[in-house]
Each structure stands twice: as C-alpha cells, then as structure tokens.
Amino acid sequence: MRLRWSLLAVVLAGLVAGCSSSVESGSSARELAPQRSSDYSAAQQDFSKEQQDFSTDQQREVIRTAELDVEVDDVAGASAEVRRRAEAVGGYLEQETGYRSSNTMTLRIPAAELDRALGELSALGRVTSRSQQAEDVTDQLVDTRSRIDSQQASVQRLRELMARAETVTDIVSIESELTSRETELESLQRREAAMSSQVQLATVTVRLESQPVVADEDTGFLAGLSAGWRALTATGAVILTTLGAVLPFAAALVVPAFGLHLWLRRRKALKKSL
C-alpha cells in the first residue's frame, strides 16, 4: 500500500508541487505579514538588484544563420575553396546540391567565426545577395534544461520504487509510468541537443553561380557580310512564309475568277453571232 501511495505521489508531483507552493505561500504570507511589512521595501530592492546582476551575467544563447549568393568564374573551383575555408575555421560541409553552372552548399560554422568566414567567402567572387538572421533561444534552453532536470529526478524516483516493488500490479504500474517519463526525457534531451548545436554552429547557405559570358561583337568586312547574309536569309524566310499563307486564298479566288472569265467570253461570242 505504501508503494502505491509513493507512486501516486511521483505521478502527481508536478501538480501537487505547484498547488502546495501557492497554498503555503499564501498561508505563510498571512501569518507573517505583520512581521515582514517593515522589510518589504528592502527585500524588493535586493531582489531587483539580483535580477539585474543575473541579466547582466547570463550568457545569451543565440542561433545565427546566414545566406550568401556569389557569382564566380569557376563553380567547381569555388566550391572546393568554400569547403577548404569552412574547414579552416573549424566548420564542415553539411549538404551540397550542384549543377553545371551553379552549386548550393550548406555549411556549419562555429558561431564565433561566422563573420570571418562570411568575409572570406565573399571574396570568392561578386556578391549578389547577403543576409543574416539571429534568434535568441536563451529562455527556451533554460526552460528545456530545467524540465530535463525535473524529469531525470522523476525517473530516478520511479526506478527506486521499481526496485522496492513486491507485487505484479505495482511493477506493471511503475514500469508504465517509467516508460512514459523516459520517453519524454529523451525527447527533451534531443531538443536541447539540437538547439545547443545550432547555437554553437551557425548555419550558412552559400549559392555559387557562374558569371554569364558576354561574347565580343565582331567588326570589319566579314562581320558585315555575315550580318547581311543573316538579314537576307531572314527576309527570304519572311517572304516565303507570307507566300505560303496567301497561296491558299489565291487558289480559292482564281478558280471562280477563271470560270467567270469563260462565261463572259461565251456570252460575248453568242451576242456577235446573233
């Protein structure tokens, strides 16, 4: 029976802790209000000072991302240089999608080296687009880590209860609750690890594109002859196209006109004979 009550206490620990804290705080406040009224201002000032010190000393957890579009002469050579420079600052290539005239690379760069890396990557060619984003996840990480600590303590208590369980019913109940708590704990740990990794290593997307090649215009006699020939062939093509479009209509008009001409000739000949 004690074990069952202990299990129930573990399951409801979060809810009970919150409710009991409110009740005890309210009760204590009513009992000690006369004694603490004179010290309230001083305590409030001390608390404010501590909060300011905490905010100042606490290191902010920031996820940084960047995107960079660069035009280069040689996409393959520039891609190799991007990998080399990422590794030089302690980063690595996470993903790459390449084509004949372009390549998209996703890099993970130590956050402290991000600005330096962007400067070096920008020097590979002509930058056509550049952007950076920063997301402060300090509160999310603090909350997640706090929940991990609470969940680890809860899992440990359930394991201790499991070791003392004597009946099959108790074992099944504890094991079910323990599995649920361990699953939630693993989920929180994965989330914390993912955010921590993003804070430590910034994500940089680099898009490389080959510069368009502009052909030099030819000049001189041969260039003029070539241009004239192209104009002549283009004009001939237009004439033939127009003739082909008109020919069916001409055929449709010629036949009735020829028939009318024959009829008029016969009529004229008939009048002369009369």
User: pLDDT by residue (tens digit) across 173-202?
Assistant: 999 999 999 999 999 999 999 999 999 999
Is residue 79 situated within a structural domain?
yes
How far apart (Å, rounded) are the C-alpha atoms in residues 128 and 71?
A: 7
pLDDT of residue 15: 42
pTM value is 0.56
Alpha-carbon torsion (179, 183, 188, 193), positive or negative: positive
Residue 199 belongs to domain spanning? 61-214
Query: Two tokens at 224?
Result: 């003029």
Is residue 205 situated within a structural domain?
yes
CA 35 to chain centre: 57
* Residue in 156, 166, 152, 180 with CA at minimum distance from that of residue 2: 166
Domain tally for the chain? 1
Is residue 160 situated within a structural domain?
yes
Is residue 162 situated within a structural domain?
yes
- Angstrom CA distances, 250 to 146, 246, 255, 263, stand at 91, 6, 9, 20
Q: Which 8-state DSSP code applies to residue 215?
A: P
Is residue 260 situated within a structural domain?
no
Q: Which residues of the chain have pLDDT under 70?
A: 1-58, 213-219, 272-274
pLDDT of residue 264: 78
pLDDT of residue 215: 57
* Residue in 136, 108, 106, 132 with CA at minimum distance from that of residue 200: 108
Is residue 233 situated within a structural domain?
no
Radius of gyration from C-alpha coordinates of the chain: 42
Is residue 99 situated within a structural domain?
yes
Is residue 195 situated within a structural domain?
yes
